[in-house]
Structure 1
Amino acid sequence: MNYDGDIIRPPSEANSIILQVTVGCSHNRCTFCGAYKEKKFRIRSQEEVLDNIAFAARYCGKQKRVFLADGDVLILSQKRLVALFELIRENLPQVNRIALYGNAKAIRAKTVDELKELKRLGLHRIYMGLESGANEVLAAVKKDETDKSMALAACRAKKAGVFLSVTVLLGLGGVQNSLHHARETARVLSLMEPKQIAALCLMPLSNTDLGRQYQEGTFELPDSTGILLELQELLLNITCYPVQFMANHASNYLPLSGRLPRDREAMLNSVKMALLGNQPLVPERFRAL
């Protein structure tokens, strides 16, 4: 498979065929994200995409899922997306599920009927980054979104019947806005009603504005106790059910996974035990993005 630069994909897409349709991210201004800082956004040529589909048809016959990379495939025109999905169906007939990253702006740019059309052609899951439900935090990290615009995008995906997985970042509000960030994030998640929530922990990167603020001391990251308290607030205040809740990414201090509301008390008890020092945390040297 011919890739341009490193490929970022959700952990749950580890066994998927990764087709790189775009390079980088069209927004690429979030102060915390270093994934695409070295890439200039572009849409890969038809020839490049066709070559990779041909490679997958030849060598990936046992894989039944496709993930479309990089960070912003949904920004493509509906005509081009429909043609791409039809190519996948024609050349990879064993594939029964297509997933991609979709930012809120790209989701809102599609009508419900357009999203339904993509679903009929195989789109199963959109991974969307909320990061925070607090408008001041979203503004500070240059997300160019608000709680309302995020919820509107989620509503559109839900009406189309597309599985929505939403990512949030513990610690993104810093020490100053820590619990406010957690509570507002839980509030907006409850409005969005995703099928899956993934909670990661902020790890400041040196190639990002937020990473430089962290190094200069102008952004104070909550310590492990502060992060656990944010996790506790999330679990206490999310009210959309049923939803799969995961905090088992490599960045997390306390790996958790369960279904809300069924497993809420068990997960809260794990957090409580960790806060009391009765449950070990992942050592810093083992945490990673």
Structure 2
Amino acid sequence: MHYEGNIIRPPSEANSILLQVTVGCSHNKCAFCGAYRGERFTIKKDDIIFEDIDFAAKYCRNQSRLFICDGDALIIPQKRLVPILERISQRLPWVERVGLYANTKSIRMKSDSELAELRQLGVKIAYMGLETGDDVTLKKINKGADSARMIEMGKKIRKAGIKLSITVLLGLAGRERSDIHAAETGRVLSAIDPEFVGALSLMLIPGTPMHKDFENGNFELITPDEMLRELGTMIATTQLTSGLFHANHASNYLPIRAHLPRDREKTLALIASALEGKVRLKPEYMRAL
């Protein structure tokens, strides 16, 4: 396989075939993210992509899922993305699910019929970084969309029959807007009603604008307990029809996996016990991105 730069994939795609179709991220401006700093976004040449698919056909016969890397594969023009998916279907007929990252810009660029076509060609899940539902924080982190656009595009991709996994980031708003960040994120998640929500805990990355703000005293990193309180508020205010809300990423202090609404009260009780010191939190040295 031909890999270039950082290969980023969701935790749930750990056992998937990783097919790199793009290099970098089409947005690459988020203040907290250092994954693709200094990396120019490009779409790889078809012959290299097809060669990697052929490689997977020979050596990846035990993997039933495929994830298209990198930062925002949905941005690929339909006329190029469709042949790639057709090639996957032809050469890897055992692959049951194709996943990719999406953002509001790339979702907006696809028509309803184009998204439906991608679904028919095997794209069954998209991963979108909401990070927060707080418009003030969204603007500050340079996410490129407000909460209304997040809701609109989240609903759009779900309407196409593509499952949606949304990422949110604990601690992102600092101490001053912590409660607002948590409650507004619950509001936006409820409006979109995704199948999956993944909560990560902020880890400052040297060289990013947010890390520089922290060093200059313009951003206050909240404590583990405060992150847990944010998580509790998010879970309490998130109304899902039937979704999985998990906070079991390596960055989190307290692993949580909750089906909402079924597990809401049990999960809030667990968080309360942790805040009372009755449940041990993950030590700092064991956290990772």
Normalised-by-shorter TM-score class: over 0.9
Deviations for 1:107-146, whole angstroms, at most 9, x for unmatched residues? Answer: 1111111111111110010000000000000000000100
> 2:90 maps to which residue?
90
- Indicate conservation of the 8 Å contact 1:74/1:107, yes or no: yes
Query: How far did residue 207 of structure 1 move?
Result: 2.2
SS of 1:271's equivalent in the other structure is: helix
Does the Cα contact within 8 Å between 1:126 and 1:162 map onto a contact in 2? yes
Task: Please tell me whether residue 204 in structure 1 is matched to residue 201 in structure 2.
Answer: no
Q: When the two structures are aligned, how many residues end up with a matched partner?
A: 289
The match for 1:62 is: 62
Q: CA deviation at 1:149?
A: 0.4
**Structure-to-structure mapping, 1:137-176, within 5 angstroms:** 137-176=137-176
Secondary structure of residue in 1 paired with 2:2: coil
Residue 262 (structure 1) aligned with residue 262 (structure 2)? yes
Separation (CA, whole Å) in 2 of partners of 1:203 and 1:175: 15
- Give aligned-pair identity as a percent: 48
1:216: Cα distance to partner? 2.2
Q: Distance in 2 between matches of 1:260 and 1:59?
A: 38
- Structure 2 residue 287 is the aligned partner of structure 1 residue 284: no
Q: Deviations over 1:78-103 (max 9, x none)?
A: 11111110010111111111000001
The equivalences for 1:18-167 within 5 A come to 18-167=18-167
The Cα of 1:218 is off from its aligned counterpart by 1.2
Q: 2:212, 2:285 → 1: CA distance?
A: 21
CA distance in 2, matches of 1:40, 1:65: 28
Which amino acid in structure 2 is aligned with residue 31 of structure 1?
A: A
1:244 aligns with 2:264: no
Give yes or no for contact 2:183–2:233 (8 Å, CA) kept in 1: yes
Q: Give the letter for the 1:124 counterpart.
A: K
SS in structure 1 opposite 2:165? strand
SS of residue matched to 2:47: helix
Instruction: Give yes or no for contact 1:201–1:252 (8 Å, CA) kept in 2.
Output: yes
Q: Deviations over 1:47-98 (max 9, x none)?
A: 2111211111111111111100001110011111111100101111111110
Which one-letter code corresponds to 1:86 in the other structure? E
Once the two structures are TM-superposed, the CA of residue 38 in structure 1 deviates from its matched residue by 3.5
8 Å CA contact 2:22–2:71 kept in 1: the answer is yes
| 8 Å Cα contact 2:50-2:84 kept in structure 1 | no
- The 8 Å contact of residues 30 and 141 in structure 1, kept in 2 or not, is answered as yes
Kindly provide the amino acid, as one letter, of the partner of residue 242 in structure 1.
S
8 Å CA contact 2:104–2:149 kept in 1: the answer is: yes
Runs of 4+ residues over 4 Å off in structure 1? none
SS of match in other structure, 1:85: helix
CA distance in 2, matches of 1:50, 1:74: 18
Structure-2-length-normalised TM-score: 0.98
Give the Cα–Cα distance (whole angstroms) in 1 for the partners of residues 90 and 63 of structure 2: 15
Alpha-carbon distance between aligned partners in 1 of 2:52 and 2:227, rounded to the nearest angstrom: 41
By how many angstroms is 1:170 displaced? 0.5
Give the stretch that moved more between structures: 208-217 or 253-262. Answer: 208-217
Asked whether the 8 Å contact 2:17–2:66 carries over to 1, the reply is yes
Contact 1:67–1:99 under 8 Å retained in 2: yes
In 2, Cα distance between equivalents of 1:158 and 1:42: 27
Alignment of 1:5-20 (within 5 A): 5-20=5-20
Q: Secondary structure at the match of 2:35?
A: coil
Structure 1, gaps ≥5 residues long: none
The one-character-per-residue Cα deviations of 1:192-248 (angstroms, maximum 9, x if unpaired) are 110000000110100211011112221001101110110110011001221100000
Report the secondary structure of 1:106's partner residue.
Answer: helix
Structure 2 gaps of 5+ residues are none
Give, in whole Å, the separation in 2 of the partners of 1:74 and 1:130.
16
Secondary structure at 2:274 match in 1: helix
CA distance, structure 2, for counterparts of residue 228 and residue 184 of structure 1: 16
Give the TM-score normalised by the residue count of structure 1: 0.98
Kindly state the Cα deviation for residue 6 of structure 1 after the two structures are TM-superposed.
2.1
